[in-house]
Chain A
C-alpha cells in the first residue's frame, strides 16, 4: 500500500532552536518528494521538491534530505522563528499518477 508516514505528529520548540522532521514512504514507483508548509486555515506552500537523484535541497533556513534507498526524507529547520509555527507536510509523487500526502507534523515555536 502506498503510504507516507511523518513523525513526530507534533513538536514544540523554543525560538532559535533547530529541529528535524521525518518522513518515511512506501510509494512506488517514486517520482519526487515535496515538503509543504501549511499555516492554519491556509493552503500549503511548497518548500522543496526533490527527485530520485537529489539527496539535499535547501530553501533558506529549510534543508530537506532524501535517501531513496531507505525511502526516508527529513526536513531540518535552522534557527527557528515564531513564523515557522505551522504544519509541515511531506508529499510523494507516484510517477505521474497521484500525490500521496502525509498527515503532517505540527510545529509550534514558542518565545
Chain B
C-alpha cells in the first residue's frame, strides 16, 4: 500500500513569490493535515482538511491557505513568501478524525531566498 506522497521534494523561491505544495493521502484516508517544521523547532500545525472542508487552522497568517480536492489530495499555497517561511512542510493523512493515527509523508523542503 502506497504511503502519503508529497511533491515537490525541494522548492526554491524568492521573497514575495508564491509556492504550491501538493500531497496525496493514503488510499481511503479522507483527512489531510499540513504542518510546518522550521529548523530547530517542533512541528507547527497549519491546516486540517476533511471531506473537502477546512476543519481547523493553526496560528498562521491568511497567506497560508489550501484546499482539498474530491480525490482527497490537497494543496498548500503560501503567498507573498517571506524568508522565515523556509522550512520542511509535512503532510499527514488519517481515516477522518484528528484523534486517529496520522501517517506522514516525506515532506517538501521550501527554501525562500
Q: A residues bordering B, Cβ < 8 Å?
A: 4, 31-32, 34, 36, 41-46, 49, 89, 91, 93, 95-99, 101-104
Contacts and interface: CB of A to CB of B under 8 A. Distances in A.
Contacts of B42: 4, 89, 101-104
A95 to B, nearest CB: 8
Nearest to B103: A46
14 contacts: A32-B99, A34-B101, A42-B107, A43-B106, A46-B101, A46-B103, A49-B101, A98-B45, A98-B58, A99-B33, A101-B35, A101-B43, A101-B45, A104-B42
A97 B4 contact: no
Contacts of B81: none
Interface size class of B (residues with CB under 8 A): 20 to 34
A41 B39 CA distance: 11
A101 B44 contact: yes
B104 A96 contact: no
Contacts of A46: 101-103
B107 A41 contact: yes
Nearest to A90: B42
Contact of B90 (A34, A44, A95, A102): A44
Contact of B106 (A31, A42, A95, A96): A42
A36 B104 CA distance: 10
B75 to A, nearest CB: 18
A43 B92 contact: yes
A44 B43 CA distance: 10
Contacts of A32: 99
Given A43-B92, A98-B56, A99-B33, 14 more contacts: A4-B42, A41-B88, A43-B104, A44-B43, A44-B90, A44-B104, A46-B102, A89-B43, A93-B98, A97-B56, A98-B58, A98-B98, A99-B102, A104-B42
Contacts of B56: 97-98
B80 to A, nearest CB: 25
A105 to B, nearest CB: 11
A102 B37 CA distance: 12
A89 B92 CA distance: 15
